[in-house]
Amino acid sequence: MRELKNRYTIVIVTHNMQQAARVSDRTAFFTAELDSQYDQRTGVLVETGTTAKLFSNPREERTENYITGRCG
């Protein structure tokens, strides 16, 4: 993957925080929120940024809660 990322954009979807931190340059955190009016879940982009910044100093509390294992 490290060789390929020099020539290609690679998108990885994972719940494994260690893998995401180890192999990515940029990270996006998505979550699902319940729309009670329609009783359905909708995917929401919560935060995106460099992997180092997102894992060390996230802007959103929901991101911090997820990466520290407080939820999810």
7-52 per-position pLDDT tens digit: 999 999 988 888 888 889 999 999 999 988 889 999 999 999 999 9
User: Is residue 39 situated within a structural domain?
Assistant: yes
Query: Considering the entire predicted model, what is its pTM?
Result: 0.81
How many structural domains comprise the chain? 1
Q: Give dist(CA 5, CA 26) in Å, integer.
A: 12
For residue 26, the SS3 value is strand
The pLDDT score that the predictor gives to residue 72 is: 65
Q: Give the residue numbers spanning the domain of 25.
A: 4-67
Cβ-based neighbours of 39, under 8 Å, separated by 6 or more: none
The pLDDT score that the predictor gives to residue 17 is: 87
User: Is residue 33 situated within a structural domain?
Assistant: yes
Residue for token digits 């996006």?
A: 28
User: Is residue 72 situated within a structural domain?
Assistant: no
The pLDDT score that the predictor gives to residue 53 is: 96
User: Is residue 62 situated within a structural domain?
Assistant: yes
